Amino acid sequence: MIEVGTEPGTGVEPLAPRGAAATRAGVESVASAGTAVAAAGVETAAPGGTAPGSGVESVGQGGTAVAGAGVETAAPGGTATVGSGVESVGSGGTATVGSGVESVGPGATAAAGPGAEPAAPLVRATRPRNRRELIIAAARELFSRDGYANAAMSDIAAAVGIGPSALYRHFGGKQELLHAVVSEALDSCLAGLYPAGPGELDVLVRDFAESALARRELGVLWQREARHLPAEQYAELTRRLHVARRTLAGQLTAARPELDPAHTELLSWGTLGVAASLAYQRVELTSPDLVARLMHRVATSVPPGLGEPRLDAPRGTLRHRSRREALLAAATELFAERGYASVSLEDTGAAVGIAGQSIYHHFASKHDLLATAVHRGVERLWVDLAEVLAPARDHADALRHLVWRYIRMALVSRHLVTVIATEAEHLQEADRLRTRQFQRDYIAEWLHLLHAVHPAMTPAEARVRVQTVLTVVNDVARTPRLATRPGIDRALYQLGCELLELEAGPLPE
């Protein structure tokens, strides 16, 4: 232990009475009358000590925690000043301009500190043992709601009530945190696939529905955000997903030995699609029963025959003569496959054989490319809907045709559908709000038709069923081994009608 003096190095933990730790990250203890100055990560300053450092966790009696974001404890008589995230100030202490103050002792003042809770005598606060789990939970919510690119580490720290320095004790960076979030969500969601015995389909869907509902964010995290991970991490998570899918396929085969491999693959991915759909809806589900019923419906479906996948089928060689349309098509495919944030104008220009700067002759910016692609997809869906409604004999006929038209569009224009579903968060605010309103209005058309067919169905159940159909179709369209199988459109049509409790009838023309 160092008795007196200033130590500018890092990693030293205790300083003796009257000692000082100046401009030093990671100081954990400062004894009585000591001063911890600008010391990010300071954990303890003993009686009379002063800690102006961010991340200070404890200041002794009479001590002062100044400008210390994340200060957790100031003992009796202490003052926590400008300390966002201050959790407790002892009797007689003052917490000034400290947003997020949780406790101030008797006689203390919490000034301009939104979120302050009732005062109570408190001498020492301990760091939660599950802080890492709390950080992952907060990041999971922010990444799924706002998107990885739009959620800052400071936002996540604020959601947990700690300073950024405390967050970095657990995760080296934002990408490391994303990996932890996606990994935990993947394992937690898929955990329900394993307890059931061979062929116990009812047990399987019940357990999987429970675990999927507990981690309903997985669909968005996996389909939209996991692409920001390094290739090796993404590949490892993909391997775990495929292990779970094969486990599910094995269960289906045990319960239904008559299934051929093609149908087993379709129904296993379809069951996973039910779980993924939960991330794209705000319906409050207090019970997993509906989810389990939908999973069971998929798992017990008897779709028509499927051909072998055409993975090596050559791509068409014809391209747009219009340079603008060629750029838009290339950008749409790149946004869908890599994510908007990972695609540059140079990438888009290279895809059509021009320099990135030449794109400005056709589009004002990368955002303009994205907005045009989303708008193109939106208008395509509305045109399809209008063409479905005009000749329909009744609501059921219109709904069957709408299922079919959506399937055809998703299979033919899968990149366009993917961009609408996963990249709209990157639009500028006005465009983003318009797109969200479109999505609500479009879903409302499906719900109107479904309500007319099943008037006794609750709005919540109808919404869950519609979103499940759309997600299952989208997921199959993005899976080449399924999307390239002859007959996949007919199989999806039957599956979609069954999920909507709708008689399939003859295949629409």
The model's pLDDT over 179-223, given as tens digits with 9 standing for 90+, comes to 999 999 999 999 999 999 999 999 999 999 999 999 999 999 999
Residue bearing the bigger pLDDT, 144 or 40: 144
Looking at residues 291-318, what average pLDDT do you find? 89
Q: How far is the first Cα of the chain from the last one, in angstroms, to the nearest whole number? A: 84
Q: Report the alpha-carbon distance of residue 70 to residue 97 in Å, rounded.
A: 13
Does the pLDDT value for residue 269 go beyond 90?
yes
Average model confidence (pLDDT) across the chain: 81
Q: Do residues 440 and 434 lie in contact, with contact meaning Cβ atoms separated by under 8 Å?
A: no
Non-local (6+) Cβ contacts of 411 within 8 A are 477, 483, 488, 489
One DSSP character per residue, 383-451 reads: HHHHHHHTT-SSHHHHHHHHHHHHHHHHHHSHHHHHHHHHSGGGS-HHHHHHHHHHHHHHHHHHHHHHH
Neighbours of 280 (CB within 10 A): 19
**Phi and psi torsions of 22, nearest 5°:** -110, 135
DSSP 8-state assignment for residue 310 = -
Q: Do residues 405 and 388 lie in contact, with contact meaning Cβ atoms separated by under 8 Å?
A: yes
pTM of the model: 0.73
Q: Can you give the pLDDT at residue 34?
A: 42
Distance of CA 181 to the CA centre of its chain: 9
Q: pLDDT tens digits, residue range 26-83?
A: 344 444 344 443 333 444 444 444 444 444 444 444 444 443 444 444 444 444 444 4
Closest listed residue to residue 403, CA positions, set 417, 415, 388, 393: 388
Q: Do residues 32 and 15 lie in contact, with contact meaning Cβ atoms separated by under 8 Å?
A: no
Q: Can you give the pLDDT at residue 509?
A: 67
Q: pLDDT tens digits, residue range 159-171?
A: 999 999 999 999 9
Q: Report the alpha-carbon distance of residue 408 to residue 488 in Å, rounded.
A: 10
Token pair of 472, please? 């299952």
Q: Report the alpha-carbon distance of residue 155 to residue 400 in Å, rounded.
A: 44
Q: pLDDT tens digits, residue range 409-460?
A: 999 999 998 999 889 889 999 999 999 999 999 999 999 999 999 999 999 9
Q: How far is CA 463 from CA 15, 221, 283, 318, 470, in A?
A: 61, 21, 8, 40, 11
Token pair of 56, please? 């200070």
Q: Report the alpha-carbon distance of residue 413 to residue 400 in Å, rounded.
A: 20
Neighbour-count burial of 14, counting CB atoms closer than 10 A to its CB (0-12 exposed, 13-18 middle, 19+ buried): middle
Q: Can you give the pLDDT at residue 36?
A: 41
DSSP 8-state assignment for residue 223 = I
**What residues form DSSP beta bridges with 104?**
89
**What residues form DSSP beta bridges with 96?**
81, 111
Closest listed residue to residue 87, CA positions, set 101, 98, 106, 107: 101
Amino acid at 505: G
